[in-house]
């Protein structure tokens, strides 16, 4: 294993803000593996189709050992792959690609990464667990999948309401009583009280770092935990809004590290050093207590 050079990378657009190279380099060094992690900026399809196909062909040829996939390709990469894990297929989004027996297989570590970090940040899950997710892209799909399987009632909101309805239809799979959709507008004020608000939109990240995904002039609910999947900047406008009201809130750095650790373990077969991965982004590793453990039945 130590003689293998792991050439890893991230496909997305844009990717220049990414902390993934530093995180994965720390993971490689921690277990004594040789390799690197490169950023692959690939424009939104159809413009980036040739580049995307070229990168995947390089992986088929053994020149790349692992790829992460981020916005805007978590769903558009699927037709280019040979197979999906059951989890990635049900979520309808891929963030990790691995070569197995000559086939490119799409996996999803976002759902487990999100849930792992959520249980570290919440003291305990309430008995009546209700969440509102803003955004229905790959990250929103993963969050909705994870939460419904952990027993939450989930409402998803999108500016294009039909996209939220599609997500609900795709993810129901015998859980139709746990999922609903609303427009991302003032109408979300009518959503039943919820204990968790998740931002799964890119609003809050450059070039939208001066904006909040929460509708203008609509007050945040007074009793919820705010989880912003945006990790750069560390404190988004939404997090600032939440903390100004005394609400507990966190950004997406923890999820970033957790999903990266799971991807790293898939590619290398080595246990990821989460301690080193958190340290490189300036965060402390906090282990969940027994009261924070979340059952995931997927």
Judge whether 12 and 72 are in contact, CB under 8 Å: yes
Read off the pLDDT of residues 201-221 as tens digits, 9 standing for 90 and up.
999 988 889 999 999 889 998
Active site residue 74: yes
pLDDT at 295: 32
For the record, the structure tokens of 201 come out as 């939109």
pLDDT at 287: 56
Give the containing element (helix H, strand E) for 66. Answer: strand 66-69
Establish how many alpha carbons lie within 13 A of residue 112's alpha carbon, considering only the half-sphere containing its beta carbon.
17
Single out the catalytic residue among 34, 74, 211, 234. Answer: 74
Parallel/antiparallel/unpaired status of strands 103-107 and 179-183: unpaired
Overall pTM > 0.75: yes
The full set of domains in the chain, from first to last, is 5-108+256-283 (3.40.50.10860), 111-251 (3.40.50.720)
List residues bridging with 219 in a β-sheet. none
Read off the pLDDT of residues 128-187 as tens digits, 9 standing for 90 and up.
799 999 999 999 999 999 999 999 999 999 999 999 999 998 887 656 689 999 999 988
pLDDT at 285: 60
Judge whether 271 and 92 are in contact, CB under 8 Å: no
What's the chain's average pLDDT?
90
Read off the pLDDT of residues 110-134 as tens digits, 9 standing for 90 and up.
999 999 999 999 866 667 799 999 9
């Amino acid at each position: 294993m130590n003689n293998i050079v792991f050439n890893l990378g991230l496909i997305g657009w844009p990717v220049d803000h990414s902390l993934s190279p530093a995180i994965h380099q720390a993971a490689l060094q921690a277990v004594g593996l040789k390799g690197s992690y490169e950023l692959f900026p690939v424009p939104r399809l159809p413009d980036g189709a040739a580049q995307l196909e070229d990168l995947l062909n390089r992986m088929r040829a053994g020149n790349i050992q692992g790829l992460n996939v981020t916005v805007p390709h978590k769903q558009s990469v699927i037709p280019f792959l040979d197979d999906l894990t059951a989890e990635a297929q049900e979520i309808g989004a891929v963030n990790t690609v691995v070569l197995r027996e000559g086939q490119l297989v799409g996996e999803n570590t976002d759902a487990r990464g999100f849930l792992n970090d959520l249980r570290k940040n919440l003291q305990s899950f309430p008995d009546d667990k209700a969440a509102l997710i803003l955004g229905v892209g790959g990250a929103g799909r993963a969050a909705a999948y994870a939460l419904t399987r952990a027993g939450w009632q989930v409402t998803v909101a999108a500016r294009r309401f039909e996209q939220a309805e599609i997500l609900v239809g795709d993810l129901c799979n015998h859980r139709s009583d746990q999922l609903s959709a609303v427009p991302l507008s003032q109408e979300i004020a009518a959503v039943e009280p919820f204990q968790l608000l998740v931002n799964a939109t890119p609003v809050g990240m450059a070039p939208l770092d001066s904006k909040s995904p929460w509708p203008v002039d609509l007050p945040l609910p007074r009793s919820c935990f705010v989880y912003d999947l945006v990790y750069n900047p560390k404190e988004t406008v939404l997090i600032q809004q939440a903390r100004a009201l005394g609400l507990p809130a966190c950004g997406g750095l923890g999820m970033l590290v957790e999903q990266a650790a799971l991807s790293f373990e898939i590619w290398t077969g080595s246990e990821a050093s989460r301690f080193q991965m958190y340290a490189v982004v300036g965060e402390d590793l906090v282990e969940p207590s027994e009261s924070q453990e979340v059952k995931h039945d997927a």
